[in-house]
Structure formats: C-alpha cells, structure tokens
Amino acid sequence: MNVHASSARATSADRPPRAIVLGTGARESVRQAAEQLRPQLDAHLEVVLVDLEGQHDLSTVSADLALVLGGDGSILRAATQMGDHQIPVIGVNLGKLGFLADLSPAELVSVLPEIARGQYRVVDHLMLTCQVVSQGQVLAECLGLNEVAVLGGPPYSMLEVDLYVDSEWVTTYSCDGLIISTPVGSTAHSLSAGGPILRKSLQAFVISPVSPHALTMRPVVDMADRQYELVVREPHAQTSVVVDGRPLRTLTRADRVLVRRATPQFQLVEVAGRGYYRTLREKLGWGGQSPGRKRNSTAGETPP
C-alpha cells in the first residue's frame, strides 16, 4: 500500500498550506459551494487559485493541495488537468456516490483545522497512459485515472478484440467492449460490467469484457508493470477508445491500443475516520446486518 504521511509543511508557526480550488463551474451547485466555503478556506488555507472552468495550466501553480468540488467526475477532470504535476487532492462530494469525493461540505469544514496542521495522510493511486498507435506512429495519447474502454458503437453488433500482454497473445474476446481499469476505476464502469473491486492503493489492472459471448471469459487481474495491447479485428464505423468517459479516437483495424502504468500517481488525501471499507459500506449500501440488529463499531460485537 503506497501511503505517505503529509509533509506537514504548514503548521501554526508556519504559513498555511497553499491550495487550489477546482470543480465544474457549469454546475450551479459547484459555484455556490465555492462561494459558501471560501471564508472557511481562507481561515485555514492560502487559496492561490480558483479554477472552475478547467482552463488553467496547473503546472505553473505552486500549491500543496487541490480542493475539488463536485463528484468523482470532477476529480477525474482535475487529475487530467494536473497531468504530470499531481498534488494531493481533497474531494468534496456535491453529487451522489462519490468514492473519491468522499467528504461532504460540512465534513470538510470540520477537518480543515487538522488539514492546516498537516494531520492527514496521502495515498498514492495508480494512473494509466493510453496510446493509439498505427504503423509505428502515435496517433493519440491520454492520461487516465479510471479506465480505458474499447466500445463498439453503431450498429452495436459484437466485436472481436485481441488482447496481448507484454506482446504475448492472451485471447480474443467476442464481446460488446473491453475495459482495462485501475483499482480506482474498479468501482466504476468495470464494476458495472461485472468486474471485481480492488483496493484503491493496489498496483494492478483489471481486464473486464462487456457482455462476453462466452461465459468462461471472466475478469482478470494482473500486474501494473505490464503492457496491455488491444486490437479490434473488424471495428465498426464508430468503434472508439474511451478514457475516463472521454472519447480519445475512433479505431481502424490497423490501430493498436496500448495501455501502461503512468509515471505520475494520483494522490488522495485521507482524513481520520474515513476508511476504505467505510466508504464501500456507505456508497454500496453494504449493511452487513440483519433487520433489527445493530452492529457495534468494534469487530465482531453484535448486541442481542
């Protein structure tokens, strides 16, 4: 598990942490939250940039933290915007599920003093790079946090997708599409396709076919230090490679989709009391108890 403590560069005797505020400003709720939270942020942090349009070159900004308002989609966009210059992210959930954007605005306000004192930890998460290559030329390239998906498009008939791992042919999937997911993305599109949930800090990829023709074609988990290559034998006119929900390029039979571990890692701030399994339990509705019986917080204790 790649966990490192915060540098605690900001203390009561030092300057406050420098922070940037990001989000999707097209959503009125995000703009309202930014305005409402600003006094609390200014009381504990030095806000050096507010970018709700996603247009700023963040490589030119010196900051210790990124506060992202919205949902997991906003965090995906923020991770892409930061590119090779990833800084620790605090996700504030203004949406629904929010696996990454885990704090409510009220919870953020309550933990801001701890964050200002450096009392948090940062967990590194695997990112990926996706390239579309044809005849030795890179036609398109993108950084991603969740997944790469090859999707059929109209007329929505089955695809034949060859998978190679480190140049070794693995199999040909007959399916509606194929997903290569990071652990962060394992609770997104891959989970909907029947893939497993991986702890977010693992260094591994999940290969999940979408509606495979053969029931023996099951999701596979493999190491992140390998190169994954996808080739669509007979793509449709709109068969595309999609990274984190954003279309990267339509594919031809000459194209090869390469997926590798990215050099930068996404950094997520975790505060006390917001553990991994608590997040899964709350977001996925894992009650873990019979009706009318309440489980205590200590392991194994269930009152009569």
Kindly report the length of the chain. Answer: 304
- Determine the Cα–Cα distance for residues 175 and 177; give it in Å rounded to an integer: 5
Question: What single string gives the DSSP state of each residue in 231-254?
Answer: EESS--TT-EEEETTEEEEE--TT
- Cα 108 versus chain centre, distance: 20
What are the C-alpha distances in Å from 125 to residues 141, 184, 193, 201, 281? 20, 7, 22, 5, 20
Residues taking part in catalysis? 72
Cβ atoms within 10 Å of 203's Cβ, excluding its own = 17
Structure tokens at 273: 């009391």
Diameter of the chain by CA atoms?
68
Judged by DSSP in three states, 277 sits in helix
